[in-house]
Amino acid sequence: MRLFLSIAVAALTPIAVWAGDRKPNILLIVADDLGYADLGVHGCKDIPTPNIDALANTGVRCTNGYVSCPYCSPTRAGLLTGRYQTRFGHEFNPGPKGPDSGLPLTETTLADRLKAAGYVTGLVGKWHLGGSDKQHPQKRGFDEFFGFLGGAHTYFPGKTQGQTILRGTKDAEENAYLTDAFGREAVAFVDRHKAKPFFLYLAFNAVHTPMHAPDAGLKKFATIKDGQRQIYAAMLSAMDDAIGKVMDKLQAEKLESDTLVFFISDNGGPTMQGTTINGSVNTPLRGSKRTTLEGGIRVPFFVSWKGRLPAGKTYDRPVIALDISATALAAAGVEVKPEWKLDGVNLGPFLSGESSRSQPHDALYWRFGAQMAVRQGDWKLVKYDPNADDAKGPLVARLYNLADDVGEKNDLASKEPEKVKELQAAWDKWNKDNVAPLWGGGKK
Ligand code: CA
Residues 38-55 have pLDDT tens digits of 999 999 999 999 999 999
* 148 and 174 Cβ atoms separated by less than 8 Å: no
Cα of 266 vs centre of ligand 1, distance in Å, is 5
8 A C-beta contact, residue 30 and residue 127: no
Half-sphere exposure for 55 (CA within 13 Å, toward CB): 29
Asked if 72 is an active-site residue, the reply is: yes
DSSP character for 325? H
Centre of ligand 1 to C-alpha 4, Å, is 42
Cβ proximity of 207 and 33 under 8 Å: yes
pLDDT value, residue 15: 43
pLDDT for 5-29, tens place per residue? 344 344 444 444 455 568 999 999 9
Q: Decide if pLDDT at 62 tops 50.
A: yes
Q: Are strands 379-383 and 398-401 parallel, antiparallel or unpaired?
A: antiparallel
- How much distance in Å is there from the Cα of 303 to the middle of ligand 1? 20
Mean pLDDT computed over 180-194? 98
Among residues 38, 32, 31, which one has the least CA distance to residue 282? Answer: 38
Distance 407 CA to ligand 1 centre (A): 21
Per annotation, catalytic residue among 72, 153, 208, 361 = 72
Q: How far apart are CA 175 and CA 179, in angstroms?
A: 11
* pLDDT (0 to 100) of residue 16: 42
Domain layout of the chain by residue ranges: 2-351, 364-432
Å from CA of 32 to ligand 1 middle: 4
Question: To the nearest whole number, what is the mean pLDDT of the chain?
Answer: 92
**DSSP states of 138-205:** GGTT-SEEEEESSS---SSSS-BTTB--EETTEE----S-HHHHHHHHHHHHHHHHTTS-EEEEEE--
Catalytic: 42?
no
Catalytic residue, from 42, 62, 90, 128: name it.
Answer: 128
Distance 341 CA to ligand 1 centre (A): 26
Mean pLDDT of 52-66: 98
Residue 33 Cα to ligand 1 midpoint, Å, equals 4
What pLDDT is attached to residue 96? 57
Q: How does residue 113 score in pLDDT terms, banded at 50, 70 and 90?
A: very high
**Distance between first and last Cα of the chain:** 49
Q: Is the pLDDT of residue 121 over 50?
A: yes
pLDDT at 147 over 50: yes
Mean pLDDT of 233-250: 98
Supply the pTM of this predicted model.
0.94
Whole-number Å distance, alpha carbon 400 to ligand 1 midpoint, is: 25
The closest alpha carbon to 109, from 68, 139, 132, 89, belongs to 139
Query: CA-CA distance, 94 to 431, in Å (whole number)?
Result: 21
2-351: which CATH architecture? 3-Layer(aba) Sandwich (3.40)
d(CA 386, CA 191): 48
Distance from Cα 287 to the centre of ligand 1, integer Å: 14
Per-residue pLDDT at 397 exceeds 60: yes
Give the pLDDT confidence score for residue 94 in this predicted structure.
86
218 with 231: CB under 8 angstroms? yes
CATH class of the domain at 364-432: alpha beta
Q: Tell me, what's the pLDDT at 73? A: 96
